[in-house]
Amino acid sequence: MNVMDKDAIYVIQIYTRQPVVIAEGKGAIVWDVDGKEYIDCVAGIAVNNVGHCHPKVVSAIKKQAERLIHTSNLYYTETQVELAEKIASLTNLDKVFLCNSGTEAAEAALKLARKASNEKDFIAADGSFHGRSMGALSVTSREKYRKAFEPLIPGVKFVPYDDAEAIEDAITPRTAAVILEPIQGEGGVRIPSDGYLRAVRDICDDSGTLLIFDEVQTGFGRTGRWFASMHWGVQPDIMIMAKAMGGGFPIGAMVAKESVAQKFQRGDHASTFGGSPLACAASLGAISALEKGLVERSAKLGKYFMKKLGELKHDYIKEVRGKGLMIGMELTIGGDAIVDKARERGVLLNCVSETVLRFVPPLVITKEQIDRVVEVLG
């Protein structure tokens, strides 16, 4: 029986998978079980920023796996504090909670915001995606994801994205926090206008509301800065991250300002696996790879990629937009057929929000590989 048939029998069928069985990866290339090569413009959904099997990540995992894999948070480890210090310095925030995914980081952020503000309500944006656990789903806007699981947590208001006034109008004395993606990912690679995040920051400051930035998809160099909010120089009170943080190994974090973080006390939140020595070592390996110029490379190659995509002329192409190597091509038709055709011709893509082709390749992708992707699309 082949892999796809077995999957249909044994794996709960919640994923819409593309019909390819991936066996190996290196840099921006993956190979399927038949040896067919693909340029990977999905990167495990914006995870493999340092490329598949980056030597620094592989060697960090190997070394750590031979020493200590897991201890629980009943004890200290050197790798965990080393990573926490690094994340605090990269974000200019103060204290870190380590977990295993973006959803868990979102969940932790919502709990911290409630505890720190002593209020209950949240404001999120139309088109938002923050995860699918009950809390994270409650601030995720799409009806399609929410409907079957209601009632979700009460007191969440959705406002149009990129509209600061709508946030100002929605804030009440019961608002604990505003949660936003600095650039929306699943919502269709939506980039806000330049003054948006600053205006939201000011509104939150004036009303004493906490501001949470979800950098799960936009973090770790994806947009040409370490974190997307840095394009606009706006600091949140709480930031969440995951995806590219471990170079492919599962790890996430919630990072907060000291004054907010200190409201979380012993027993308020926890994770058995969170911040395991192995995950932290993988993350330190990935960060050290990113520090070798990959963030700048994302900015530079992102411009090149966007320019090339922008030169494609077709009635179906409505707009090409992006920052760094987080690029969306909005179509006037559904994108799935193009994703299928591109895959047949050796390019992995995916489509978000039905009509937006998303390009989030490893930041190590070469110009030649970008040229090939554009040629295939053409």
Ligand X SMILES: Cc1ncc(COP(=O)(O)O)c(C=O)c1O
Strands 37-40 and 347-348: parallel
Which residues, including other chains, have CB under 8 Å from residue 323's CB and lie 6 or more apart? Answer: 183, 191, 223, 224, 228, 231, 302
**Closest to 178 (Cα-Cα) out of 133, 218, 234:** 234
Distance between CA atoms of 93 and 83, rounded to whole angstroms? 13
Active site residue 243: yes
**Residue placing its CB nearer to ligand X in the complex, 177 or 377:** 177
Judged by CB under 6 A, the number of residues near ligand X is 15
Among 40, 162, 186, 330, binds ligand X (CB under 6 A): 186
- Using rule CB under 6 A, residue 242 touches ligand X: yes
- 294-311 vs 277-290: helix axis angle to the nearest 10? 60
**Residue placing its CB nearer to ligand X in the complex, 190 or 308:** 190
Active site residue 202: no
What ranges in the chain are assigned the alpha helix state H? 3-10, 43-46, 55-67, 78-91, 102-117, 134-138, 143-146, 164-170, 196-207, 258-261, 277-290, 294-311, 336-344, 367-377
- Binding to ligand X (CB under 6 A) within 87-106 occurs at 101-103, 106
Identify the active-site residue in 97, 122, 129, 359.
Answer: 129
Distance between CA atoms of 301 and 324, rounded to whole angstroms? 7
Identify the active-site residue in 214, 237, 305, 323.
Answer: 214
Among 107, 181, 237, 330, binds ligand X (CB under 6 A): 181
Among 51, 182, 185, 192, binds ligand X (CB under 6 A): 185
| CA-to-CA dists, residue 345 to 21, 194, 342, 364, 375, angstroms | 16, 37, 5, 21, 10
- Using rule CB under 6 A, residue 107 touches ligand X: no
**Closest to 374 (Cα-Cα) out of 287, 306, 301, 296:** 306
**Residue placing its CB nearer to ligand X in the complex, 181 or 330:** 181
Residue 40: Cβ within 10 Å count: 25
- Binding to ligand X (CB under 6 A) within 205-224 occurs at 214, 216-217
**Residue placing its CB nearer to ligand X in the complex, 130 or 225:** 130
- Using rule CB under 6 A, residue 285 touches ligand X: no
**What is the pattern of x (binds ligand X, CB under 6 A) and - over residues 112-131?**
-----------------xxx
**Residue placing its CB nearer to ligand X in the complex, 30 or 137:** 137
Least distance to ligand X from the beta carbon of 177, Å?
Answer: 15
| Active-site residue set | 129, 214, 243
Binding footprint of ligand X on the chain (CB under 6 A): 45, 101-103, 106, 129-131, 181, 185-186, 214, 216-217, 242
